[in-house]
Structure 1
Amino acid sequence: MGPDNPRDGESRDGRTVEPGDARAALDDIRRRQEQSGMAELRHGLSPFYLTWAALLLFASFASFDLPNPWGGAVLFPGIVLVAVMVFAYLRRAPVRNKPSSGATLIAVACGLALVGVFRVLAGAFEAGGAPAPHVIASAIVVGVCLLLVPYGRRIAETRLRSGTGSG
C-alpha cells in the first residue's frame, strides 16, 4: 500500500495517525451525532408539532362519523395541513438528518398499531351503540398517544445515547 492509501496508518499528507487521535475523532463524531439527534428529537416533539399532529390525527379519525360527502371532504384540508406541517418542520429544523431504516420501521409499526387500536375501539363503541363511535375512539387514541409521548421521548433519547438510534 502506498502513501495515497490512508489504510496503512498514514494520512494523505504523510503524517501518521495515532490510535488515540483516531479514537478521539470517532468519539467527537459520535458526540456530534448524539447532539444532532437530540436537537432533532426536541424539535420534532415540541409542543407546536405535537399539538398540530394530535389535531390532525383526531380530525382524520373522527371524520369517519361524518356523512358521505363530508367525510371525504375532510381529506383535502388534512392533506394540506400535513404538507404545511412538513414544510414548516423542514424549514425550522435545526438539523437535517435522514431517518435511519430502524427509525422508519419503528414509525411505520407505531402508525399501524395506532390505526389498529383505533379500528378496534371504534368497532367496540359502534357495537355498543355509541352515537359517534369514531369521535370517541379518536379522542381516546389521541389522548393515550399524548400521554405516551414522554415515555417515547425517553426511549428515543436512550437509543440516541447508546448509539443505536443513528444510521
Structure 2
Amino acid sequence: MNPRDAQLALDNIRSYQDVTREEIVRRLFPLPHVLLSALGLFATFASTDLENPWRTVALVIGLGLYTGVWIMCTYSNSVQRKPSRRELGVYLALSASLLVVFSITRIAAFSLFGIPAHGLLSQGVVAGAVAALTYVALTPLARRAMRRIIHQGDGRD
C-alpha cells in the first residue's frame, strides 16, 4: 500500500465516522417518541394524586410507556454505542429539571391557585401536564447538547 492509498483509506474512515455520528444525532429525540414519552411522564406524575388501585395502574402505564419508548429508541437504531459520561449528564440534568418543575408547579398549584390535592383536576395532574410540556420544550435543547457532545471527537470522557 502506498502513502496515497493509506491516506485515501483514512479519509474514508473519517467520512464514515461523520456519517455514523450524523445517524446517531438524527435518531435522538424524534418527535413521535418525544410526544409518547411526554404522555408517559404525564401519566406517571398525575398518578401521585389518585387513590390506590388507580395510582398503581396509572404509574405502571406511565412508566411502562416512558420506558418502552426509551427502549425502542435505544435498540431500534442501526448504530449502537455506549453513552459517554457527558451524555449521561445531559439525561440526568433533563430528569432532574423535570422533577424540579413538577415539584415547583405542584406547590404553586396549591398556594397560588388553591387546586385540591385529590380529584380529576388535582395538583399532580396540573404539575404533570406542566412537566410533560417542559419535557417537550427542553428536547430541542437536549438534542443540541447531545449533537455537540457526539461531534466532539469520539464523544468519550
Relative to the length of structure 2, the TM-score reads 0.75
Match for 1:139 among 116, 121, 129? 129
Gaps of 5+ in 1: 1-14
Number of residue pairs matched?
151
Gaps of 5+ in 2: 117-121
| Residue matched to 1:100 | 84
Larger Rg over CA atoms:
1
Match for 1:36 among 10, 17, 20? 20
CA separation of 1:85/1:155 partners in 2, compared to 1, >3 Å: closer, same or farther?
A: closer
CA separation of 1:56/1:34 partners in 2, compared to 1, >3 Å: closer, same or farther?
A: farther
User: Partners of 2:149 and 2:8 in 1: how far apart?
Assistant: 21
Identity %: 28
After the TM superposition, which residues 1-167 of structure 1 pair with which residues of structure 2 at under 5 Å, given as runs?
A: 21=6, 25=10, 29-128=13-112, 129-131=114-116, 132-163=122-153, 165-166=155-156
Asked if 1 retains the 8 angstrom alpha-carbon contact of 2:40 and 2:65, the reply is: yes
Displacement after TM superposition at 1:127 (Å):
2.6
Relative to the length of structure 1, the TM-score reads 0.71
Displacement after TM superposition at 1:57 (Å):
0.8
| Residue matched to 1:7 | none
CA separation of 1:40/1:22 partners in 2, compared to 1, >3 Å: closer, same or farther?
A: same
- 1:48-85, CA deviations, whole angstroms, 9 ceiling, x for partnerless residues? 21111111111111111212331122222234324532
Determine helix, strand or coil for the equivalent of 2:27: helix
- 1:133-162, CA deviations, whole angstroms, 9 ceiling, x for partnerless residues? 121122122212212322332232233333
Q: What letter corresponds to residue 55 of structure 1 in structure 2? A: L
User: Post-superposition, which runs of at least 4 consecutive aligned residues in structure 1 deviate over 4 A?
Assistant: 20-24, 27-31
User: Partners of 1:151 and 1:165 in 2: how far apart?
Assistant: 18
User: Partners of 2:106 and 2:20 in 1: how far apart?
Assistant: 39
